[in-house]
Structure 1
Amino acid sequence: MKKLILSICILIIVNCSTYAQNIRFIRSGIITYQKTVNMYAIIQRGITKENETFFKPAFEAYKQQHPQFKELKSTLTFRNNKTLFTPIGNVTSIMSFFNDPQISMQNNVSYTDLDTKQFISKKKVFDDIYLLNDRVQNIKWKFTDEVRDIAGYPCRRANGIILDSVYMVAFYTDKIPVSGGPESFHGLPGMILQLALPHENVSWIATKIEDVNIQPDSILPPKDGTIINYKGLIDKLKSITKDDAKSESTNLKALLL
């Protein structure tokens, strides 16, 4: 019996060692993400006692014609500590009584240099194109013990706060030792493969991970647009929406994420 137990222990140790040797740490590749937006929840938040008489019937009509979830795809190309986030395909607004909120869109092409903390993002703000050039935003992270598998990679959960009040849940893998993620999200000891903004009803998840050698000239900042920093972008948006405080807050939050 002792010999049998010893043999089983040795077998487990050998298998674990073999598995560990087969794990490849990726420092260059392409990740495909799917962004999911709960349109029903977002529209519902905008219905108040003051407008429900008119908006509720419009919302019911919207639900008859449109799905609850809007899905968008993007890629994150990375090499060492540089990343380039790019939407896939043309994103068009859904024709309906309700305009697509800024948070439900995916127009940004974003470049991040994690070594220098430089962030450059090409953003569409209403009818204007801006080239946001500033440092990466500060995100306060708190680690948890929760784990899950995403796209074949073991991931650990971390909870974060950005823009002082926006709560997020992220799952990252240290098997891709790049402190990046979709859009402007970053700052964990590994790549973010899943991220949710529960109160904004938006999430991203990696659906495909390609371990490929990316050439340095494939990861370059976007071009064209009026150069602006975060402060300038905030001031610009406030000037456009100065008569609608609620719209200002909602759009500002979406454009800064």
Structure 2
Amino acid sequence: MKNLIITTCIIAICSSAVFGQNKHFTVHGSIEFEKTVNMFAFFERQINKNNEDFLRSAFDSYKKTQPQFKKLKSTLTFGDNKTLYTPIESDVQENGFFFGDSPVTNQVNTIADDLTTGQSINQKKVFETTFLVKDSLRKINWKITTETREIAGFTCRRANAVVMDSIYVVAFYTDDIAVSGGPETFTGLPGMILGLALPHENVTWFATKVNEIPVDEKSLTPPKKGKVVTNQQLAATLKNVMKDWGTYANAYLKAFSL
């Protein structure tokens, strides 16, 4: 009986070791993301915040001709512990409704992150000007939970955080992709973020497909064009430009800082 117990334990240990050795971790490839913005909820929130009657009338007209959800595509390429997040230009024509130029409802960032050095290069379109923001990665105090969901064929675990003092973030990451990256400026979890939501901003990013493919160094080349600034310098510039914008300034400043 004693020998049977010992043998059983040895088999269990060996099986566990083999299982661990056989587990496959993805370290290079590309991820296709879809950004979804609830335009009706976004505009409703802005109108209530600014309490402008003329915006209410314009919004009522907007709802009659425009879809509730705006969808935008992007790609995240990763390899050598680096990522490059690239928006895909949409061929859908905007109708010019007020707040339609908000960075929340568009894609203004092309971001190269070096997860080893902790440095980020963000080519950011701010109206008619392009900035090249060179700074450290955003530091996020994630709280990992036990909740899981499947995204693009991967089991992902939920994590929550608050950034910029007031923006609530929900992320779903998988440790099957052994790269601590994610869409936009969100990183820092023990695996790749495949799902991201800013519930109070009415926007989400979810992976639709993960491609495990070889990635060469050229595919991760950071953007180079734009006026070079830090995050702090960009914020100071925007505050100066928007100093006469009244209540609208804060919304745009926050959106461009995400």
| Post-superposition offset of 1:193 | 0.3
Partner residue of 1:209?
Answer: 210
The alpha-carbon deviation at position 50 of structure 1 amounts to 7.0
The number of residues matched between the two structures is 245
* CA deviation string 1:149-204 (max 9, x = no partner): 11111110000111122110000000001110001100000000000000100100
Displacement of 1:54 after TM fit? 1.9
Amino acid corresponding to residue 108 of structure 2 in structure 1? N
* Deviation readout 1:100-158 (Å, 9 max, x if unpaired): 12211102110000111111011111111100001111111101110111111111000
TM-score by length of 1: 0.88
C-alpha distance in structure 1 between counterparts of 2:91 and 2:142, whole Å? 31
Instruction: Write the letter of the residue equivalent to 2:142.
Output: W
Counterpart of 1:73, as a letter, is K
Q: Deviations over 1:68-123 (max 9, x none)?
A: 11000000000031000001124666113324122111021100001111110111
Q: Which residue of 1 aligns with 2:139?
A: 138
Residues 121 and 132 in structure 1, CA contact (< 8 A), matched pair in contact too: yes
AA at the equivalent of 2:187: H
- Name 1:152's counterpart in structure 2: 153
- Distance in 1, Cα, partners of 2:19 & 2:89: 38
Q: Is the 8 A contact 1:93 1:99 kept in 2?
A: no
1:55 CA drift (Å): 2.0
Contact persistence 1:91–1:105 (CA under 8 A): no
Q: Which amino acid in 1 is paired with 2:70?
A: K
Counterpart residue number, 2:201:
200
Contact 1:91-1:106 within 8 A present in 2 as well = no
1:161 aligned onto 2:166: no
- 1:185-230 deviations in whole A, cap 9, x for unaligned? 0000000000000010010000000001101221011011100001
User: In the alignment, which residue of structure 2 is the partner of 1:120?
Assistant: 121
**RMSD value, Cα:** 2.3
How many angstroms does 1:17 deviate by? 9.4
SS state at 1:193 partner: strand
1:218 lines up with 2:219 in the alignment: yes
The corresponding residue for 2:244 is: 243
SS in 1 for 2:142: strand
Task: Tell me which residue corresponds to 1:46.
Answer: 46
Match of 2:61 in 1: 61
> What's the offset of the Cα at 1:23?
4.4
Match of 1:24 in 2: 24
1:228 equivalent in structure 2:
229
Are residues 1:83 and 2:61 paired? no
Deviates more, 1:103-112 or 1:48-57: 48-57
Output the TM-score relative to the length of structure 2: 0.88
2:111 corresponds in structure 1 to: 110
Deviates further, 200-209 or 236-245: 236-245
Structure 1: tracts of 5 or more residues without a match:
1-14
1:254/1:91 CA distance change after superposition, 3 Å:
farther
Distance 1:63 1:228 in 2: 39
Structure 2 spans left out of the alignment, 5+ residues: 1-14
TM-aligned CA deviation for residue 246 of structure 1: 2.9
CA distance in structure 2 between the aligned counterparts of 1:53 and 1:166, rounded to whole angstroms: 27
